[in-house]
């Protein structure tokens, strides 16, 4: 379990490419609550910690997939594919 701080939450949100409003929508929080959370002015309960942990796993997976993107693009181009199964790629 991650120890969630305001800067870490902000970093994860930016890593996902989400606005504060989008993060709030996904967590069931208002824009004001997200702003306070990122400033360390909102206490985080266990349910919110679980949601943040889930989003962190999601952001880690997105980053892993993006690291494989050049390989993916090359395979797609070389084989004139429009869809590809990435499950055979090495996992970090």
User: What structural domains and CATH numbers belong to the chain?
Assistant: 6-79 (1.10.260.40)
| Nearest in space to 38 (alpha carbons), one of 24, 17, 57, 51 | 24
User: 31-68, pLDDT tens digit by residue?
Assistant: 999 999 999 999 999 999 999 999 888 887 777 766 66
pTM: 0.66
- State the DSSP string of 31-63: HHHHHHHHTT-S---HHHHHHHHHHHHHHHHHH
| Nearest in space to 38 (alpha carbons), one of 57, 53, 19, 54 | 19
């Amino acid at each position: 379990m991650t120890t969630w701080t305001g800067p870490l939450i902000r970093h994860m949100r930016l890593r996902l490419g989400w606005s504060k409003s989008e993060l709030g929508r996904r967590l069931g929080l208002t824009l004001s609550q997200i702003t306070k959370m990122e400033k360390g002015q909102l206490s985080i309960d266990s349910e919110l910690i679980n949601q943040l942990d889930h989003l962190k796993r999601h952001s880690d997976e997105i980053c892993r997939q993006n690291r494989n993107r050049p390989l993916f693009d090359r395979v797609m181009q070389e084989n004139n594919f429009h869809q590809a199964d990435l499950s055979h790629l090495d996992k970090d």
